[in-house]
Structure formats: C-alpha cells, structure tokens
Structure 1
Amino acid sequence: MPAERRTDGRRTDERPAGDGAAGDRAAGERPIGERSAGERPAADRLAGDRLAGERVDHRFKALPPDAEGLTVGALAAERRSLFTGGFTTPVLALSAESVEHNLALLETYSERHGLAFAPHGKTSMSPQLFARQLEHGAWGITAAVPHQARVYRAFGVARIFLANELVDAAALRWLASELNRDPGFRFLCYVDSVRGVELMDEALRSAGATRPVEVVVELGAGEGARTGVRTEAQCAAIADAVAAVPTLRLTGVAGYEGEVPGADGDSVRAWLRRLVALAEEFDRAGRFEAVGEIVISAGGSAWFDAVADVFAEIPALSRPVLKLLRSGAYISHDDGHYRHLTPFNRVPEEGSLQPAFRLWAQVVSRPSAGQAFVNAGKRDAAYDLDLPQAQVVRDGRTGEIRPAAGVTVTGLSDQHGWLTTTPEAVLEVGDWVGMGLSHPCTSFDKWQLIPLVEADGTVTDFIRTFF
C-alpha cells in the first residue's frame, strides 16, 4: 500500500533527493548546465513581477472571491490556508515540498549520469517552473510547437529544443527574427524529411535569416511509431539535403524512445544504440565539421534510465557530445500513469519522485448510501489515462483529514465526479475529497493559476500556466 500523503499531497515515506552514490563526472566533460552569467536567464525575469502583478479576477477559477482586485503577488503574500482562506472548490493544489524534491532529484540524476537536461516544457507551460528547472541545472527547455517556443522566449529562455520538424512559414519567420535579434539565443529542432528541409530553407531565406538554424535528424522508433526517419539511408539523404542549404546546420541526431513498438528494456536500448550508431556514422562522414559540439538527444519520462545507460557508452567523437535528456513529467509526477512507469521503480537506489498534485472537490450530493457526487469533473481533472483517485476526506464540520476509505471515483461528467461508496465510507455533503491525478500534461492545462501549497495547507505562491 502506498504511504499516506500530507495535506498538500506529499508522501511521508519518500527518500531525500539524491539518495544513492553519485558517480564522478568523466574527465574533460563540462559540468551539466554550465553557462555564462549572460546566458543564464534570471528567475525574476522568468517568473517575477509580470506574473505577480496580474490581478485576481474571474479568469482564475478557485481563487477567493474576496481577493478580487488584489494582485496575485499580494494574495500570495497573505499566505492564506487552502481550506479556510476563502478558496472555492474545486481547487487544484501543487505541493511546494514535492516540486522542490523532484527538481533536486532530476538535477542530481542528470549530473550523476553525465547528462545535460532540457525538460519538456509542454508538461506545465509555466515560466515559474521553467525558472526553477533552469536554476536546478537545466541546459534549456524543450518545446513541441511554435506557440510554446514563443512563450519561452517571452520569459527569457535562452536555449530551446523543439522536438518536432518545424515547417510552418510564419513560425520560421518569427524564429529567424529571434535569431537575428539575439545572438545569445540557441534553437534546435528536428528534421525528418527532405521536403521539410526545403520548406525550412525557403521560409528562412525569405525571412532574411542571418544565422543558420541548428537541426538534428530524427530517427524514428520503428514502423508504426510516431514521427522520424525510418531507415539510416533516409537519414543520410536528409543530412545531404541539410548540407546543401545555407540556412540550416546539422548539429546531431535525436528521437523519442517511448514510441518503440512493444517497448521494453531490451528493445528501447537497441533503438538507442541505433541512434548512437547513426551519430557515429555521420561523424565519420565528416557531417559535423562545422559545429562545436554534437547533440545526441532522447528521453521521455518512462525510459530515461535506458537513455542514461546507452549514452554512457557513447565513444569519443570528433567533437564534444551534448547528451541531452528531455523528460518533463517529473516536475509534478503523478498518482497513476507515471507512478507506474517511472524508471525509479527499476532503480530505487537512485531515489524516487513524489506526486505533487492534489485536486480538492466538495461533496455536493449524497443521493444514496452507495453513491456521492463532487463538484469536479472533466474540466478540472486529467482523465485521458486514468480517473482521479480519492485519497483523503476533509471533514466539512471539523476540518479533520482522514483517509478516503471506501470511496472510489468511478466516472466524470463535465462538472461532476461520480463516487461509489462502501458501508465503511464516512462521507457527507459539504466534505472535501482530495484526489490524486494521473498524467501531468492534461492536469496542468486545465488550470491557469495553481496554488503552491506547503504541507500544512499554507498557500505560498501561484503557478501561472500559458497553454
């Protein structure tokens, strides 16, 4: 049975970040996340005055009605209780302690395994959390689509890895402008087709690009997988197309191991070795002569232990290698999908992540002894992979918090959660039910402003999202 969590969702049995012996960094390898003072974006620019100065109003669900007109920063400074401070239900809370634990753990893990880290920002789309990730040694932030990259740039992110082929002419014009304007901005993206190379070159030429865009050839994870080039011969043809245009520069290879058909430890490692072999072949062919470092990138949130193992085997190449991991869901973790998939289940000696989300909803109907309804539904909770899990009940009369014994979430409507209760369940109208969620990416996107809550229920900040 999992250990009970505290008020804000933090488990009480988690080991400290960084448990396990840290390995020494290989000789000559640069420190992970090393950057000059000019390259590192300041946290206050990323997440400070512009967000704290927003006004509390109808845009942000669950915030106290009596706080209308205050700035978000002023409301945070009041350090209200999530339960008695006027917040309305449903309300999603993010554990301050669990977020900090997870940040520290992945920083330590990356350093231990000689990996650079560009966590996928699509998970949270929160500049405040990007700032914390960068402070914890992240090399940059990964994006999936142009809008996300624009948000990152609006808050000063200096390094962006776009894990997609970028062929949108309007987005490429914006990118050319950003690269021309800011010599400190570094941007990389996938290429996986000759036609994509042609479209990128055409758009960048017309935009007057003065700096070539760095691209990495995406190796597909196999037939039936998502994107990416299926054969090494096709990869070489795309690399030739890149070499033929002045607007692009081949920097490395990349892909996503989570799409390997029937993924298991052996098949994922086999694909990762193909990726490394592709980089070696490109290097032998002299394809990286114009770059200062070779980028080899992979890593979702389910197989980063395999990435660490195989990337540790990368031989010496003609240039230093940036071994870039891109896992993103770790920052909040979850109580479902990633709780089961996390590599830390396979390497428990390296630590464990803590689920940081808890959705609080109020019982608004108890029509029978075996049924209850709360006022949170599909608009509030992730449901694409698993339903929420009832974990605790806060008594509406006394404020006492007890385990949600005999309470199960069995369905969601738009604005209602369906609960089934057994005779042991102690639940009545007015009680609050605290639920764990599955899949961070579809939890963050339902909330524009999320209270960051300490273990005793004190709200210390608000996490702004930009989906």
Structure 2
Amino acid sequence: MSAFNAVEKGTADLGAHLVRDVSLPALVLHRDALEHNIRWMQDFVSKSGAQLAPHGKTSMMPALFQRQLAQGAWGITLASAVQTRAAYAGGVRRVLMANQLVGAPNMALIADLLTDPEFDFYCMVDHPDNVADLGAFFAARGLRLNVMIEYGVVGGRCGCRSEQEVLELARAIKAQPALALTGIEGYEGVIHGEQAISGIREFAASLVRLAIELQDSGDFDIDQPIITASGSAWYDLIAESFEAQNAAGRFLSVLRPGSYVAHDHGIYKDAQCCVLERRSDLDEGLRPALEVWAHVQSLPEPGFAVIALGKRDVAYDAGLPVPLKRYKAGVLPAVGVDIEGCKVTAVMDQHAFMTVASGVQLRIGDIISFGTSHPCLTFDKWQTGCLVDDRLQVIENLQTCF
C-alpha cells in the first residue's frame, strides 16, 4: 500500500520521505529527539533514587511504552480501565492507574486482566463508597485488588482533602479483605499561583508524612509501600522532596511524568526552562520530538495563508500551533527554511490561519512543520504517527490505541 492511498490517516510506507511521499497532514516524531528524551528522564529519575512510571495517556503508543520499559521504567501510568486494557494488549505488565476505578464494567475489565498472575496493577481510592464497591466486586470474583489512597488539595482534582480523611480511609480499606493498601498518591500539578513552588514542597512533605504515619500504624499490606506523585512540570521538586525526606529508604518512590517523551514547543518547553533554572547540575534538557506537518492550501490575501491543518489534527487548548520551517514539496534533499515571524492566529476544524512574515515566500503546496503545545491533545487525534530519522525518512509507523 503506497503512502498516497493509505487508509489510516498518517500512515506512510517505510522509507517514504516526508516532503515527497507522505499524505499530509501527518503526525511526525523525530527519532533522535524521542530517544534522547526517554534516556534523559530515565537517567534523571534513577539518579534521584526513584522509579519511573511514565504516564502513557500522553501518547497511548504501545511502541513507546516498550521503549520506555526497555530503558528501565518500573511500569506505565494510565488513567482508565480501557487504557489499561490497551496497554496490556501491547505487552505492558505493570500499570499504575492514577485514577479511581469506578463502575462495574470498568472493574470487570481489570478483573479479567488480574487473572494473569504476571499482571501487576494499582489504582486509586479517595472515598469510602468506592472502597466498599471495590471490596464487594473483587471479593465476589475471588480476587484481591491493590489500591492506593489518593491525597489531594482543596480546590484541586481528586483525592482526600485532609490528612484525617486519609487515615480514616485507610481503616475502611482494612475492613475489605479483597483490597490491599499498597501506597499513597498525590498530584501536584493543580497547585498554582505565585507560591506554587513552596506549595508543592509542602504538599510533598505532607504526602511523605502521611505515608510514614500509615506505615507506623501497620496500615499498609506490603513491606515497601509506594509513594508517588509528579506530572510533567514539577517532577524535579517532587524528586527532591522525596529524596530529602528519605522516602526512597522506607518507600518505593515513583514519579509519573508523561509529556516528556515528546516534549513540546509550548507549556512544557516553558516548564523545562524552569527546571533547568532550578537545577544548575543539568546541562541539557528535553528536546521537542513532536511536530505536525501540513501543506499551504490557500494564499487568498497578501500576508495571509490558509494551512490544511485544524482542530482535528493538532492541540489548541494550551496555545496555537507554532510554525517552524518551510519545505518545498517533492524537493530533495529537503532543506527546511526558518519562518520566524509567521504566526497561527486561529484554527478551524480543518484549517489554520497563518500570518506570513515579510520576506517569507510561500506557494501553494509548500509544506510547513508545526510545533505544538500540550502533546497529549495532539496524539489523541491520530491513529498513526510517522517516526522519522534525521533525513526525514519514515522508519516506523507508531500506532496509537485511544
């Protein structure tokens, strides 16, 4: 099947070249940057005395999960029972579901997977109702479910809102023989404002303090309970807090950033700059590996181009696509010309409006590479991404499983 009559959006023949053979728009992943990011984060987390469970909901690409596991990841973090089943089908055998398992059909999906003795699964609880429902369901199946208490912040997302609620929930779990309390979890990414850094450190300290109290009270059902937090923006602060409080000594510390695998040209680029400012020992950071490529479709007015790229193709929730380079379609060797000054001003379902900077010459059919902000909501628009080498040739089609 040629790249020009591929059924799945984004699929290309291996060896195809982006500027000559691939039907656009296409999701593009640069191999060198991708492999650098996987190594970089694994090295950072390992040196912090923690384990890495990358959040797989970013890409939902089993091929990337396997690359992360091969580099030393402890497991894969996911957000739902359906995602867990997809990852299991892709060969993942340890999942930390950083979310509550709610609803009998979702519980049944996990129960089916737990019949495999090699499958290691953990989910979150934050309310006695959920504890009771899980306890009854898994008892009826003759299974024991690993659960972790989620600890949150007022005005945040899920999670017990006070240390007292955590301790009381631990007692409720203890009353359910089909549940095993295996750790405590939090998510610091909902802490914002001018005092975010101090707030995150206080939250991490409280998380460790609770873990110690639960362990001293004999509430955990495993010898080395898990303590876990960290999204893709503040992972360095969480790692420092866990390490400083010797969390790795009494507990298995697990960090869960996800967007690092592709990085971006927006919110995570900015967050990474802050990490590098806080950590002078890091001389190199992550590299953006994800782009979306599309054609110039129309030049209806001077200084204005319409690009064949829209909301169906690229994230727009945390900033509009960023024009990077212009390529001449079909022309090899491919030479990318910087188009600094061009700017996307709006996106529709299938179109992007781009102002064209003075001195930038475009013609219909030219190819523009775009950076994105918030890679999670770009990946989920694609069934397939093109992994390319440094010559822009397709070396693998990476399937998503959203």
Same fold (TM over 0.5): yes
CA contact (8 A) 1:177 1:209 kept: no
**Residue correspondences, number:** 395
- Structure-2 change in CA distance of 1:133 and 1:286 (3 Å): same
CA contact (8 A) 1:391 1:403 kept: yes
CA contact (8 A) 2:27 2:290 kept: yes
CA RMSD in angstroms comes to 2.0
- Structure-2 change in CA distance of 1:56 and 1:407 (3 Å): closer
Q: Give the AA of the match of 1:81.
A: H
Q: Which residue does 1:324 correspond to in 2?
A: 254
Q: Which residue does 2:169 correspond to in 1?
A: 238
2:202 is aligned with 1:202: no
In structure 2, which of residues 68, 77, 82 is the aligned counterpart of residue 133 of structure 1?
68
Once the two structures are superposed, what CA deviation does each residue of 1:48-107 show, in whole Å capped at 9, x if it has no partner? Answer: xxxxx9x9965411445xxxxxxxxxx32xx121112x2112122100000000010011
Q: Give the AA of the match of 2:288.
A: P
Q: Which residue does 1:18 correspond to in 2?
A: none
Map 1:132-211 → 2, pairs under 5 A? 132-179=67-114, 181-206=115-140, 208-210=141-143
Q: Give the AA of the match of 1:339.
A: K
Gaps of 5+ in 2: none
In structure 1, which of residues 74, 77, 82 is the aligned counterpart of residue 18 of structure 2?
82
Distance 1:316 1:358 in 2: 38
CA contact (8 A) 2:188 2:200 kept: yes
In structure 2, which of residues 256, 267, 289 is the aligned counterpart of residue 337 of structure 1?
267
Gaps of 5+ in 1: 1-52, 65-74
In structure 2, which of residues 2, 5, 8 is the aligned counterpart of residue 60 of structure 1?
8
Distance 1:200 1:283 in 2: 22
Deviation of 1:348 after TM superposition, in Å, equals 5.2
CA contact (8 A) 1:448 1:466 kept: yes
- Structure-2 change in CA distance of 1:404 and 1:145 (3 Å): same
CA contact (8 A) 2:81 2:109 kept: no
TM-score, with length taken from structure 2? 0.94
TM-score, with length taken from structure 1? 0.81
Report the 3-state secondary structure (helix = DSSP H, G, I; strand = E; otherwise coil) of the residue aligned with 1:286: coil
Map 1:340-419 → 2, pairs under 5 A? 340-342=270-272, 343-347=275-279, 349-350=281-282, 351-396=284-329, 398=331, 400-419=335-354
- Structure-2 change in CA distance of 1:242 and 1:56 (3 Å): farther
Report the 3-state secondary structure (helix = DSSP H, G, I; strand = E; otherwise coil) of the residue aligned with 1:393: strand
**What's the % identity of the aligned pairs?**
36
Deviation of 1:171 after TM superposition, in Å, equals 1.8
Distance 1:56 1:311 in 2: 51
Q: Give the AA of the match of 2:104.
A: A
Q: Which residue does 1:36 correspond to in 2?
A: none
2:222 is aligned with 1:291: yes
2:27 is aligned with 1:92: yes
Q: Give the AA of the match of 2:179.
A: L
- Structure-2 change in CA distance of 1:190 and 1:56 (3 Å): farther
- Structure-2 change in CA distance of 1:232 and 1:405 (3 Å): closer
Report the 3-state secondary structure (helix = DSSP H, G, I; strand = E; otherwise coil) of the residue aligned with 2:244: coil
In structure 2, which of residues 189, 192, 202 is the aligned counterpart of residue 258 of structure 1?
189
Once the two structures are superposed, what CA deviation does each residue of 1:231-258 show, in whole Å capped at 9, x if it has no partner? Answer: 1111111100000011101111111011
CA contact (8 A) 1:176 1:209 kept: no
Q: Give the AA of the match of 2:56.
A: G
Distance 2:192 2:300 in 1: 46
Deviation of 1:409 after TM superposition, in Å, equals 0.9
